[in-house]
Chains A and B, each alone.
Chain A
Amino acid sequence: MADAADNPSPKGDNRPALALHVPEPKSRPGDPVDFSELDIPEAGSQPRPDEGAKPEDMKDLAYGLVRVLGDDNKAHGPWDPKLDPETLRTMLGHMALTRAFDERMFRGQRQGKTSFYMKCTGEEATSISAAMALASDDMVFPSYRQQGILIARGYPLIEMINQIYSNKGDKLKGRQLPIMYSSREHSFFSISGNLATQTPQAVGWAMASAIKGDSRIAATWVGEGSTAEGDFHSACTFATVYNAPVILNVINNQWAISSFSGFAGSERTTFAARALGYGLAGLRVDGNDALACFAAQQWAANRARANQGPTLIEYFTYRAEGHSTSDDPSGYRSAQEREEWPLGDPVMRLKNHLIAIGEWDEERQEKMDLEAAELVKKTTKEAEKNGILGHGLHHPFHTMFEDVFEELPWHLKEQAEQATRERITKFGSERPDA
């Protein structure tokens, strides 16, 4: 026992030696897992306060877990958003398509068609259900794991694949790493590799909307690991100071690459509870419960729209797959974690709910999954006509120099001419497809 009194400080006095705590996850590769300590309340047991509630009057919600879908696959309690079956099936369809897309793109990377990919398996509800609760012109500032938003907003799959392949159809002109999408038309902000930078930007966008007397709100998504960035603190501070109409979504999927959430501070408190220190409304939600995700986002959207202020929502979920195609999670966590994750799988839970209310069946699910896979496959083939990474079908060389500034300054003109000369020397032509 490292009792303080038994262990005097080597510095020479009687003060006890200090000890650094370095967080350690409960299980590592090969270990059995035990999630029994997780406090998972009954579905429907959380109260739903008025959307104008003061943050200090809803503290329990920052430490609890809003759940709607129970073990009986039925919707329970005041957070039930009471969505019609058609909406639920649409939601399930977006999830099926997102999952099929992830599967195919992951394989595409393994086949060398692109350099990189990131799945969102297990987290589909946190983007799809949440996005469906927003208006289509509410501005979203996502991180790299919210492809579900694009799918929910009807962004063409072929645009996503062209971007992933960096081919000549890529509207980002092959400048961005795969999955760093951008679509102004879909009110989807350009994704950056630099973590959490989008959070103060979302707040600024929301402030702008308020300055202009607009009615649109902003929402941002950030992983629990990235909440440790200074930008997230800035975002929370500015959001509260200016009562910005913004929703700060924290996706707590337990892992930031190889670091478990303890390295972002989860051993002592919840991420939703951080809201309280800023005077923000804080909600902690079962992130694998599509109905709870929808309901929480809708609550926060209504609050923001009514000028009642920003909300921080923690979605408690699990990153079922590796961090990216460059990551192997078997190097740092137990494989059993995924199998035994007590909140299950968001797609299965929504499917089972639809079946439980008599609005769905296994046959239709199977057909839906098949159609999703077929659609992705067909679109992939179509995108491949525009080229895959490294096979020559890319944008012309001079496009590399465009859009650094609105106009090309002299030094970039000179460099563009140089690149063109180099191309002609190497290939005898200026045209990439010649």
Chain B
Amino acid sequence: MSTDVKTDASAEAQAERRINMIEAINEALDIMLERDDDVIVMGEDVGYFGGVFRCTAGLQEKHGKTRVFDTPISECGIIGVAVGMGAYGLRPVPEIQFADYIYPGLDQLISEAARLRYRSATEYIAPMTVRSPFGGGIFGGQTHSQSPESIFTHVSGLKTVIPSTPYDAKGLLISCIEDNDPVIFFEPKRIYNGPFSGFYDKPVEPWKKHKDSVVPEGYYKIPLGKARTVQEGEALTVLAYGTMVHVAEAVCREKGVDADILDLRTLVPLDIEAIEASVKKTGRCLIVHEATRTSGFGSELSALVTERCFYHLEAPVERVTGFDTPYPHSLEWAYFPGPVRIGEAIDKILKD
């Protein structure tokens, strides 16, 4: 009977099926494990247990423990063996449990994975995707909240990708896994279960109520290097990624600002055309990220916008970011670049 029901409703269910970001990531991994025998998923607690965030739940049971397995607690080892697996011809998808713990693997990422194609003149490549939950807003304190993306965007040879919706998470992750370059795939853990408005005292909506949680079953890809237009507007351009896309969107909605919001999705390679087109249209630009300010990715964005859109700018480019401190625990909402900070920046940009 249940089979019949499924069949009857399949077309509609397919169109309206809504899942959260964890389920979307799980599906992407499942599909790629199915499609490509060379895909290997590994990391701390990802195997039998299915991951501390459940992103790999059920995958070991389905694909076997030589395809999906637990590793020793050694980020250097996880990334290092992934480089070796890539040299063999596999397509490893290692997980680093928190982006805050990726640092022991940095030498392997920066000196090895990122440089391998270049230094061997394509004899060897590192077609790996390092997945890692990142970002704050969850009372994670200093070592469960960081946003280290600018460490990676500064490295020649690495791509950095950050989804902000279940639909994007699945399509982008599939693209990353199929990409022949090493990719850092940061998953904003604050929005694993639902988009976050930044108004932390209001109840959080689950993904089920958001249009971008409608995710097709099966295989699809979202190209790397292409930004997503979250909403079109004329008053100013907002450049954001990850959790901050939703926070910026909510603030603009609250304030009734007609913003052109771009979700960058890929930081390297960056969709410079979309950025230029938007800023040249609006003449004003706000950059928002959770990461600390100094030498953050916002600095790069600000410089690019200034260099390429200078004669179209009607106000200085503003950056709303985390403060230049380690991520605090008790003062999380004072640190987080939330609605007040974003609102003030918008007022300042629009005043000129």
**A positions within 8 Å CB-CB of B:** 139, 141, 171-173, 175-176, 180, 182-184, 189-190, 192-194, 197, 199-212, 218, 230-231, 233-235, 237-238, 241, 403-406, 409-411
Contacts and interface: CB of A to CB of B under 8 A. Distances in A.
Interface string B64-79: 0011000110101100
A208 B156 contact: no
B77 A201 contact: no
Contacts of A230: 76, 104
Contact of A201 (B112, B117, B121, B122): B112
Nearest to A185: B123
B76 to A, nearest CB: 5
Range class of the B interface residue count? 35 or more
B121 A207 contact: no
Given A192-B115, A238-B81, A406-B179, 16 more contacts: A180-B119, A184-B123, A190-B119, A192-B111, A197-B108, A197-B112, A199-B80, A200-B83, A204-B85, A205-B85, A207-B81, A212-B90, A234-B76, A237-B74, A238-B72, A411-B269
Contact of B87 (A176, A189, A233, A405): A189
B80 A231 contact: yes
Contacts of B116: 190
Contacts of B240: none
Interface of B: 40, 66-67, 71-72, 74, 76-77, 80-85, 87-90, 92, 104, 107-108, 111-112, 115-125, 156-157, 159, 179-181, 225, 268-270, 272
A235 B180 CA distance: 25
B112 to A, nearest CB: 5
Q: Which 9 A-B pairs have the closest CB atoms?
A: A204-B84, A200-B80, A204-B81, A234-B77, A208-B88, A201-B84, A409-B269, A190-B120, A205-B84
A173 B89 CA distance: 23
A208 B117 contact: no
Contacts of B66: 210-211
Contacts of A207: 81, 84-85
B81 to A, nearest CB: 3
Contacts of A211: 40, 66-67, 85, 90
A403 B118 contact: yes
Q: Which of A207, A218, A237 has the most CB of B within 10 A?
A: A207
Most chain A beta carbons < 10 A, residue from B40, B80, B180, B268: B80
Contact of B88 (A139, A190, A197, A410): A139
B272 A410 contact: yes
